[in-house]
């Protein structure tokens, strides 16, 4: 039969695309603002060397800089969303690159501001901070002053700002290869149709019941990474070396401490996550052993870990039904929350389906002056798509409340807390689905999905976090970051985190070369801490009801006005303690036992 190919972007109906016209109705409008910003860059010179002269000059400089940043975000948001619609579209790619270039120019021109703030006489600074007009910038300035030991001279700061565009190169190269250049061939589905294999349907194929199809999908997918492994390893090594350069330039002890510093997170939080998870791997081993028996296979491979264990429960849910399901599942968060969300998901927030050249995966984006935007590659045959929609909706509602309740200077929440909002939604979705079925097979199916979500988010992301720590420490110790070293380190972690429960195919050591988040150093641990915090908050909401919901919504409205661990305390969670991690693992253990109990009724 003829192969089913992905549609070109122009063939996607408008109702299934996000609407970017509120940002810019035409490209000409984008060009106009781009040129306007470019002309205003020279305005920074009027403040250079003068921040000590008076409060009026100081506050005018802050207002000017933040107005530039706000307009730049609008330019950048439009450009990167257009670019991600089809990464092969050269005009949109040029827009994106121009926005990045403009960002570098502004960073260069404004690089004097922070060093000058640091050099202000203490009495002058104290006087500025007492002025009521400084209110919106108070936490922004607190963070700047905390960074004083890691801020260099004006000349060095200017050089670092000039390098900012170059620092994006490893990520950009990987993205172009992974999303635009790589072709994974075609697969034959169960109906005999030839279907193009892609990032978007890879997990869908690995969820199929036919084991030979799963194995073929896995081997064919990784064959592309095998063919490009040397170049990908070099690109990842360049990204790590970039992190080392920046951390040393800013006088941090390590890349890890540099990354954690911005969120005021102690390294013990990172280390406790890894040690706590590694000390409690037995529930994971127990689950994988059960999965092997349930599938009736002698050796469990990674391509056997996505297929649902429950037979004869086929999942199919179109996008509109998925929206309805999410809204009902999130009803404990209140009618205001769900009303705003439903209008957005059914309206113009979401770019729904995969098309040729579209960026893989999913995300929530936007800027202070836009609606939240969600990129999806929704598939009605994949329950992961339903969960992904709920996940990104959590990000988007966090953005909505932050922008509505915080001034521009403090609206931007950190990634640390962002993953809490998204994974909380997934947790509520699981609970809703379980409550609305009496079929033991369906219950087992949903529990199996939640188990695999926690496995992928808590255990797997912690393994990723340890891998990042290892390779950055190697670079800091001036060890060579070779393909072989990457594979050896990753293979060692696979053996630790899966024990003897998984047959480790040779291709699996290449997984470390295909993870986009490794190009954002020390990002992935926030998924693991996020799901742990989310499970704690969800339990609190289900136990305490409205008071806990009130605390959670207050947390969402904080944006970036506090450090993340302080914000989480308002939501009722203390992440300085290993308690939430242990509780998440206990929840995982209980789910496995529940699944085993259900299995005895029909397995």
Q: How confident is the model at residue 268 (pLDDT cuts 50, 70, 90)?
A: very high
Whether 64 shows a pLDDT value over 50: the answer reads yes
Task: State pLDDT tens for residues 169-220.
Answer: 999 999 999 988 999 999 987 778 899 999 888 988 998 889 999 999 999 9
Question: Between residues 600 and 304, which one has the greater pLDDT?
Answer: 304
The verdict on pTM exceeding 0.75 is yes
Give me the mean pLDDT over the 125-133 stretch.
Answer: 95
List, in order of start, the domains of the chain with CATH numbers.
Answer: 3-167 (1.20.140.70), 188-311+459-519 (1.10.1370.20)
Residue 363 β-bridge partners: 375
Q: How confident is the model at residue 296 (pLDDT cuts 50, 70, 90)?
A: very high
Whether 368 shows a pLDDT value over 60: the answer reads yes
Residue 442 has a pLDDT of: 84
Answer whether 396's CB lies under 8 Å from 300's CB: no
Spatial separation of the C-alpha atoms in residues 141 and 160, rounded to whole Å: 20
Q: How confident is the model at residue 159 (pLDDT cuts 50, 70, 90)?
A: confident
Answer whether 403's CB lies under 8 Å from 411's CB: yes
Residue at token pair 């969600």: 374
Spatial separation of the C-alpha atoms in residues 12 and 7, rounded to whole Å: 7
Contacts of 356 (CB under 8 A, 6+ apart): 5, 6, 7, 8, 9, 86, 88
Q: How confident is the model at residue 419 (pLDDT cuts 50, 70, 90)?
A: confident
Residue 482: closest CA among 165, 124, 228, 234? 234
Residues serving a catalytic function are 392
Give me the mean pLDDT over the 59-87 stretch.
Answer: 96
Residue 429 has a pLDDT of: 94
Give me the mean pLDDT over the 417-433 stretch.
Answer: 91
Whether 2 shows a pLDDT value over 50: the answer reads no
Answer whether 353's CB lies under 8 Å from 378's CB: yes
Whether 132 shows a pLDDT value over 90: the answer reads yes
Q: How confident is the model at residue 141 (pLDDT cuts 50, 70, 90)?
A: very high
Whether 152 shows a pLDDT value over 90: the answer reads no
Spatial separation of the C-alpha atoms in residues 80 and 93, rounded to whole Å: 8
Tell me what percent of the residues of the chain surpass a pLDDT of 70: 99
Query: Which tokens sit at 144?
Result: 């700047």
């Amino acid at each position: 039969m003829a192969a089913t190919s992905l549609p070109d972007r122009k063939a996607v109906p408008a109702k299934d695309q996000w609407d970017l016209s509120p940002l810019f109705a035409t490209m000409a409008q984008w060009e106009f603002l781009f040129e306007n910003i470019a002309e205003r860059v020279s305005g920074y010179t009027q403040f250079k060397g003068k921040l000590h002269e008076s409060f009026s000059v100081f506050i005018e400089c802050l207002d000017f800089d933040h107005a530039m940043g706000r307009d730049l975000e609008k330019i950048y948001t439009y450009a990167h969303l257009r670019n991600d619609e089809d990464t092969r579209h050269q005009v949109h790619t040029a827009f994106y690159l121009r926005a990045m270039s403009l960002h570098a120019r502004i960073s260069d021109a404004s690089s004097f501001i922070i060093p000058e703030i640091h050099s202000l006489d203490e009495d002058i600074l104290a006087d500025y901070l007492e002025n009521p007009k400084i209110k919106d910038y108070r936490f922004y300035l607190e963070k700047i002053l905390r960074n004083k030991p890691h801020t260099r001279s004006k000349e060095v700061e200017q050089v670092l700002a000039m390098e900012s565009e170059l620092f994006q190169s490893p990520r950009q190269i990987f993205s172009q290869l992974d999303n635009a250049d790589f072709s994974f061939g075609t697969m034959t589905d169960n109906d005999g149709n030839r279907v193009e294999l892609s990032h978007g349907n890879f997990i869908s194929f690995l969820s199929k019941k036919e084991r030979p199809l799963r194995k073929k999908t896995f081997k064919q997918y990784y064959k592309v990474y095998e063919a490009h492994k040397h170049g990908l390893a070099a690109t990842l090594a360049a990204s790590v070396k970039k992190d080392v350069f920046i951390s040393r330039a800013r006088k941090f002890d390590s890349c890890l401490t540099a990354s954690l510093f911005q969120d005021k997170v102690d390294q013990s939080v990172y280390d406790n996550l890894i040690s706590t998870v590694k000390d409690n791997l037995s529930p994971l081993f127990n689950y994988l052993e059960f999965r092997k028996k349930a599938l009736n296979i002698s050796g469990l491979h990674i391509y056997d870990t996505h297929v649902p264990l429950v037979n004869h429960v086929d999942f199919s849910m179109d996008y509109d039904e998925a929206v309805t399901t999410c809204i009902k599942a999130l009803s404990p968060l209140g009618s205001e929350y769900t009303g705003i969300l439903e209008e957005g998901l059914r309206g113009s927030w979401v770019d729904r389906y995969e098309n040729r050249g579209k960026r893989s995966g999913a995300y929530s984006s936007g800027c202070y002056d836009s609606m939240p935007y969600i990129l999806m590659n929704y598939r009605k045959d994949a329950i992961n798509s339903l969960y992904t929609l709920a996940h990104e909706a959590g990000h988007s509602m966090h953005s909505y409340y932050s922008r509505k309740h915080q001034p521009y200077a403090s609206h931007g929440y950190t990634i640390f807390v962002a993953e809490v909002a998204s994974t909380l939604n997934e947790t509520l979705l699981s609970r809703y689905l379980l409550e609305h079925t009496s079929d033991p097979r369906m219950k087992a199916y949903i529990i199996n999905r939640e188990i695999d979500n926690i496995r992928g988010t808590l255990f797997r992301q912690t393994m990723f976090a340890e891998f990042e720590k290892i390779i950055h420490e190697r670079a800091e110790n001036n060890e060579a970051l070779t393909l072989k070293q990457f594979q050896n380190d990753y293979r060692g972690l696979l053996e630790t985190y899966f024990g003897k429960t998984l047959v480790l195919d040779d291709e699996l050591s290449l997984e470390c070369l295909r993870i986009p988040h490794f190009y954002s150093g020390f990002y992935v641990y926030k998924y693991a801490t996020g799901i742990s915090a989310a499970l704690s908050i969800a339990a609190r909401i289900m136990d305490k009801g409205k008071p806990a919901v009130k605390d959670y919504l207050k947390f969402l409205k904080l944006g970036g006005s506090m450090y993340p661990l302080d914000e989480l305390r308002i939501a009722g969670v203390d992440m300085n303690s290993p308690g939430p991690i242990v509780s998440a693992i206990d929840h995982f253990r209980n789910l496995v036992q529940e699944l085993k109990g259900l299995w005895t009724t029909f397995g």
